[in-house]
Every structure is written in structure tokens, then in C-alpha cells.
Amino acid sequence: MLLDYTRIYAARIETEYKNTRRFDKYEVSVLTTTMTTLSDQNLRRTKLKILVYRRNHKGDPNNATKTFGINDCMGRVRDWEYDAVIGIGASKLWPGSEGIKEKITWVGFGITKAHKRNATNEDVARMKKDNPNFSGFRGQLVTFETEKFILWDENGKSLEDDYPILYKYMFEDRKIPRAAKNFPDDIQKVLEEIVTMAKMEIENATQSSSSKATTTDNAADSKCISSSGKKHKGCA
């Protein structure tokens, strides 16, 4: 009964989001609670295995490839088992990447073994063009599906302003010096909210693009039809 109620309530929130095109932390929190399974007549939250790491430069991953490790960022850490990745800008950054400081820069999710691959000779050759001393990739490359990846870089949310609990855990308490995937419940909840927020933003962008394409097609069709209802010459 409780599971049914949770699903109904979450559906109402999702409907409101789709109709108004807005969301806030409360809505995201409610949707996050639906990540549950029914066991022994009790609700148990199914935790996502989320990899969080400090990112000190842009370019890996990028929107063109959507591949984590395209420049061998994080090395063997990429081989860990996880369902989602959150890249957060570090405090000390490479020149040219100052804009991502302590921000949520990208999120990828829906990872399976099929999304991981070993580097090819072409990958190694590409790296050696910029670095002749490159000796090889230290871990597998992880490529995300378009609808399961979002890159914000410097446009990402500030960890200190929007997620102060995670900011304190990561930068003040230094509980994530480089990368981690096991977290206390309060931090896990925040991380799941970030992943859910990313999913909703991707969905919103996809629906917006689809709506614009439909509007453009309808406008083109209307130009092809005369007042008598006949198509003009040259129109498909």
C-alpha cells in the first residue's frame, strides 16, 4: 500500500513538472524516494552506486564523445563498479579550467558493462600526438548514451551554494580527497538528488527540442499548402 501511495504521489509531482517546466529541491527529493524496492512488506531504498571525483580540468569527458577517460582522466578509478558518475570541480585547477571550481560539472548514469571498453590503438595514437611519452590508458573508457549524460562545466551549480552538506563533506572535511563511491546516508541522498536533477534536465531539453522540431515541420507544411488546400509545386 505504501509503495502504491509513493508511486501515485511521485506521478503527480512528475505531471506538475511536465506541465510547468519547473522543478526544485523538494520535487527532486520526492522523486528520489521512488528509488525503492518491496521486500518483506517493507520499503527499502535501493542505493545507486555513485562514483564522485574531483575534476581539475575540462575536456574529459566532452560533449562530442560523451566518453569518460577520453584523455585517461582518473585512470584505474574508471574500472570501479558504479551506476552513475558525478564530476565535481576541484579547488586547485589547471590553467584555463578555473570556471569549474567547486561546481557540479557533469553527470552520467545508466552504466553497464556494455558501456565500457578497452582503449584501441587509435585512442593511444591520438594521445601520443599531444604527448609523445604517453604509455597507454590505465583503465577502460566509459561511453554514455546521449540521454544519460549531461555536461555543464562552468555552468554547473555551485556546491557551496546549492549543496552545502556535500561541500562540507568533500572540501572542508576532505572525505573525498580524489574519488569515492561509498557514502553515509545523508550524503548518498544528496548525490541521488543530483543524479535525479540531471535526468530531469535532460528530459526537459529533449522534450523542448522535440517540440521545436514539430513546430518547424508544421510551419513548413503550412507554407506548402495554398488557400484552396492544394500543395504548391516543389513541395514534397
Q: pLDDT in tens for each of the 236 residues of the chain?
A: 444 445 555 555 555 555 555 555 555 555 544 444 433 334 445 789 999 999 999 999 999 999 999 999 999 999 999 999 999 999 999 999 999 999 999 999 999 999 999 999 999 999 999 999 999 999 999 999 999 999 999 999 999 999 999 999 999 999 999 999 999 999 999 999 999 999 999 999 988 876 665 555 555 555 555 555 565 565 55
CA distance 76 to 64: 23
Identify the pLDDT of residue 12.
55
Helices in 109-184 by DSSP H: which ranges? 121-130, 159-162, 164-167
Buried b (16+ CB within 10 A) or exposed e, 146-158: eebbbbbbeebee
C-alpha dihedral, 15 to 19 to 25 to 31, nearest 10° = 20
From CA 25, how far away is CA 165, in angstroms rounded?
14
pTM of the entire predicted model: 0.74
Residue 194 in any domain: the answer is no
Q: Which grid coordinates are listed for 201?
A: 534536465
Q: How many domains does the chain contain in total? A: 1
Residue 5 is predicted with a pLDDT of 45
Q: Could you tell me if residue 198 is inside a domain?
A: no
What pLDDT, on a 0 to 100 scale, did the predictor assign at position 13?
54
Domain that holds residue 160: 48-183
Asked if residue 34 is part of any domain, the answer here is no
CA 21 to chain centre: 19
Sign, CA dihedral 126-148-89-74, equals negative
pLDDT at 208: 81
* Listed residue (36, 34, 52) closest to 44, CA to CA: 36
Q: What's the grid cell of residue 90? A: 576541484
Please check whether residue 8 lies inside any domain of the structure.
Answer: no
Q: With left for phi above 0 and alpha for psi between -120 and 50, is residue 185 left, alpha or beta?
A: alpha
Phi/psi zone of residue 201: left (φ > 0), alpha (ψ -120 to 50 degrees), beta?
A: alpha
